[in-house]
């Protein structure tokens, strides 16, 4: 059984990843995540729905007991297709996928699955946030953008799978703002730097690829959802909240909202013009912070349901606010 073990000193985490090729996939890691210390139960995060909306692509991280530490269980960790009825099928579970999942969860990075479910884009925290593409077909990995990046950038695929939106800044005095590049890292479009003093991140594309919704700010409770018109470069805020996800039909934008820092977030939706705000999952519906709604928020292709992380599970809510039980596993 393949596993990734965890050493005590955090400085080792960066070094040991360089040893992957020489250690057969067994890599020492840092025990800094609350979910890792709390339980060895698999920890699931939604990435996307399949084209026919029959299943959710789930990123699963699992740990096993070890004599002196916890180890990532690479026989369970990977990407899975899970149906609302609990049937599941392995999408990818190679050793390097196990390492990719671990790196993402360790540093709270987002893995962005391409529309054709062939490639994963992410900001590699062990390469200073370089935007990296990983192929689920041949397991090759290549860096496409590696300059002027914050390690927290959350890349997003355009609906046609040809472009990536991400956050970056080459000036230390200018907070990171939105950029566009093709998947080869070329034809980069640096939208005019916002005059706002807050960072921009978590972009999500409108279905027609002409507008981005994104988060303005860095602290829950003071963040805003804003839109960037990619043609006119105009920006406007439409709601208080963070981590937007644009409905594939274009009618709604789902997002997280909290009225104060540290409070469990709600799952809300708003129309692109800023009207029709309503709550799908209220903060009072979560017993404690371990069951709070977490991103990413993932719309079904028909625009009728949103999958989201809740504790270590994945749950589904429809646009009327009807909550399904967590996906069985």
- Whole-angstrom Cα distance, residue 71 to residue 76? 12
At CA 218, angle to CA 216 and CA 224, rounded to 5? 30
The answer to whether 86 touches 60, Cβ cutoff 8 Å, is no
- Whole-angstrom Cα distance, residue 302 to residue 231? 27
Residues 205-262 have pLDDT tens digits of 999 999 999 999 866 657 899 999 999 889 999 999 999 999 999 999 999 998 766 6
The answer to whether 313 touches 84, Cβ cutoff 8 Å, is no
Q: What pLDDT, on a 0 to 100 scale, did the predictor assign at position 76?
A: 86
Q: What pLDDT, on a 0 to 100 scale, did the predictor assign at position 34?
A: 40
The answer to whether 28 touches 17, Cβ cutoff 8 Å, is no
Residues 173-192 have pLDDT tens digits of 888 888 899 988 776 776 66
- Predicted TM-score (pTM) of this structure: 0.83
The answer to whether 314 touches 300, Cβ cutoff 8 Å, is no
Residue 279 has pLDDT above 70, yes or no: yes
* Structure tokens belonging to residue 130: 């370089």
Q: How many CA atoms are closer than 13 Å to the CA of 31, on its beta-carbon side?
A: 17
* Structure tokens belonging to residue 311: 């504790």
The answer to whether 277 touches 269, Cβ cutoff 8 Å, is yes
The percentage of the chain sitting over the pLDDT mark of 90, rounded to a whole number, equals: 40
The percentage of the chain sitting over the pLDDT mark of 70, rounded to a whole number, equals: 78
- Whole-angstrom Cα distance, residue 5 to residue 310? 26
Burial (0-12, 13-18, 19+ Cβ within 10 Å), 188: middle
Phi-psi region of 6 (alpha: psi -120 to 50; beta: other; left: phi over 0): beta
Residue 36 has pLDDT above 80, yes or no: no
Q: What pLDDT, on a 0 to 100 scale, did the predictor assign at position 38?
A: 38
Q: What is the mean pLDDT of the chain?
A: 80
* Structure tokens belonging to residue 312: 């270590």
Coarse DSSP helix, strand, coil percentages of the chain, rounded to the nearest 5 percent: 10, 40, 50
The answer to whether 268 touches 293, Cβ cutoff 8 Å, is no
The answer to whether 81 touches 91, Cβ cutoff 8 Å, is yes
Q: What pLDDT, on a 0 to 100 scale, did the predictor assign at position 327?
A: 73
Confidence of residue 325 (pLDDT cuts 50, 70, 90): low
Q: What is the DSSP letter of 11?
A: T
Element at 163 (helix H, strand E): strand 163-168
Residue, of 97 and 283, whose pLDDT is higher: 97
Query: Which stretch of 33-37, 126-130, 146-150, 203-207 has the lowest confidence by average pLDDT?
Result: 33-37
Confidence of residue 27 (pLDDT cuts 50, 70, 90): very low
Annotate 32-71 with b (16+ C-beta within 10 A) or e (fewer).
ebeebeeeeebbbbbbbbeeeeebbbbbbbbbbeeeeebb
Measured CA to CA in angstroms, residue 291 lies from 12, 26, 112 at distances of: 31, 31, 23
- Whole-angstrom Cα distance, residue 227 to residue 213? 4
Q: What pLDDT, on a 0 to 100 scale, did the predictor assign at position 39?
A: 41
Q: What is the rounded average pLDDT of the residues 48-61? A: 93
Element at 119 (helix H, strand E): strand 119-124
The residues facing 225 across adjacent strands are 215, 239
Distance between alpha carbon 6 and the CA centroid of its chain, in Å? 23
Element at 47 (helix H, strand E): strand 43-49
Q: What pLDDT, on a 0 to 100 scale, did the predictor assign at position 32?
A: 36
């Amino acid at each position: 059984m393949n596993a990734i073990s965890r050493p005590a000193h955090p400085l080792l985490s960066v070094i040991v990843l360089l040893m992957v090729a020489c250690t057969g996939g067994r890599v020492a890691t840092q025990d800094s995540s609350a979910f890792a210390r709390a339980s060895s139960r698999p920890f699931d995060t939604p990435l996307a729905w399949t084209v026919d909306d029959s299943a959710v692509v789930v990123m699963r991280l699992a740990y096993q007991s070890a004599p002196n530490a916890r180890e990532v269980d690479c026989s369970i960790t990977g990407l899975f297709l899970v149906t609302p009825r609990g049937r599941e099928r392995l999408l990818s579970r190679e050793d390097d996928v196990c390492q990719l999942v671990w790196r993402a969860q360790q540093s709270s990075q987002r893995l962005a699955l391409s529309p054709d479910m062939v490639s994963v884009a992410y900001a590699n925290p062990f390469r200073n946030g370089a935007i990296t593409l990983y192929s689920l077909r041949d397991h090759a990995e290549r860096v496409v953008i590696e300059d002027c990046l914050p390690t927290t950038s959350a890349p997003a695929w355009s609906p046609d799978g040809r472009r990536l939106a991400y956050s970056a800044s080459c000036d230390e005095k200018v907070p990171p703002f939105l950029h566009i590049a093709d998947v080869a890292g070329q034809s980069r479009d640096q939208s005019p730097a916002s005059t706002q003093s807050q960072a921009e991140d978590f972009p999500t594309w409108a279905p027609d690829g002409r507008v981005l919704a994104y988060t303005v700010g860095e602290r829950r409770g003071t963040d805003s959802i804003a839109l960037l018109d990619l043609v006119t470069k105009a920006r406007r805020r439409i709601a208080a909240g963070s981590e937007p996800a644009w409905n594939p039909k274009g009618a709604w934008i789902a997002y997280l909202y909290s009225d104060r820092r540290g409070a469990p977030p709600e799952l809300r939706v708003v129309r692109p013009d800023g009207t029709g705000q309503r709550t799908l999952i209220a903060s009072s519906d979560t017993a404690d912070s371990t069951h709070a709604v977490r991103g990413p928020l993932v719309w079904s292709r028909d625009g009728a349901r949103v999958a989201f992380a809740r504790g270590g599970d994945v749950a589904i809510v429809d646009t009327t606010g009807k909550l399904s039980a967590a996906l069985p596993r």
